[in-house]
Amino acid sequence: MRVDFETDVGAVRSANQDSCECGIFDSGEAWAIVCDGMGGAKGGNVASSIAAKTIREELEAGFDSSLSQPNVKNLLINAVRRANDAVHQAASQTPDLQGMGTTAVVLLAAQGVLHVVHVGDSRAYLQHQGVLSQITMDHSYVQDLVNFGQITPEEARVHPKRNIITRVLGVHEQVQCDYGLWDLEPGDIALACSDGLSNYMDEAQMEQYLEQYGEDGKVLSQELIRFAVESGGSDNITVAVISDI
């Protein structure tokens, strides 16, 4: 397996509040973390950085190739909870950082399955047997409207309140995250991204890019970011790709 990532400030923002950590364990399992911070000029960058680094440290300290799937699930959920504690504590100790928070999406490809845990509207996608699917559901105001049938997914992408998220890491003492598990086969591709990409690109467009650039995760992540920037680039954009599965 291999893992690649790219991040870009975009065409409008002056600072990048996204953070990404990724790697491959000595035993061959690949992992990736994407966080999209919020909370003012300083807070967003600090929150996403603390969260991504804390989750990485928890994975590196706790993962072993002999872990059962339930134990891997517990490791990931606890890592997100530790990150929530770290961000919340940092915010409470520094007035300028109060109220900061971040999204988080974590991928871990191990033993023929993909583990995913997420908070907020950063997304995970999986191309399985040649078919691309979004495998996380946004914790956002517009996703709730979609779920209730009040707007379509296409309308959600341009809705004026599309940036309101309903779950966030670090703002409260406790955080609720979602976990999912998917089968992997050789040739599959897993992708995590901040909403700087997903706000501009639908699944059909993304599938075209995977078909064209999917053989090289680095090139794929670069081309996806190029698309988002050229489409407006109003937000920071981060993409992480696990490939050669």
Domains located in the chain, CATH noted:
2-243 (3.60.40.10)
Return the pLDDT at 154: 87
Q: Could you read off the pLDDT of 174-226 as tens digits, one per residue?
A: 999 999 999 999 999 999 999 999 999 999 999 999 999 999 999 999 999 99
Mean pLDDT of the 4-14 span: 96
Question: Long-range CB contacts (< 8 A, 24+ apart) of 203-210?
Answer: 203/125, 203/132, 203/133, 203/134, 206/125, 206/132, 207/127, 207/132, 210/127, 210/132
pLDDT, tens digit, 9 for 90 and up, residues 25-40: 999 999 999 999 998 6
- Tracing tokens 């072993």 back to the chain, one arrives at 64
Q: Is residue 156 a contact partner of residue 145, using CB atoms and an 8 Å limit? A: yes
Q: Is the pTM of this model over 0.75?
A: yes
158, 168, 124, 172: which is closest to 234 by C-alpha?
158
Nearest CA to 140 among 162, 171, 114? 162
Cα–Cα distance measured from residue 184 to residue 127, given in angstroms and rounded to the nearest whole number: 9
Output the average pLDDT for the chain: 97
CA angle 132, 134, 139 (to 5 degrees): 175
- Model pLDDT for residues 39-58, shown as the tens digit of each residue: 866 799 999 999 999 999 99
Mean pLDDT of 114-123: 99
Type of residue found at 94: T
Residue 158's pLDDT is what? 87
Q: Which residues contact 67 (CB under 8 A, 6 or more apart)?
A: 75
C-alpha 34/C-alpha 107 separation (Å) is 9
Tokens of residue 245, six digits: 């599965």
Q: How far apart are CA 40 and CA 82, in angstroms?
A: 23
In the prediction, which pLDDT does 39 show? 82
Rounded (10°) angle between helices 217-230 and 203-213: 140
Return the DSSP state at 95. Answer: G
Contact 207, 215 (CB under 8 A): no
- Average of per-residue pLDDT across 222-233: 98
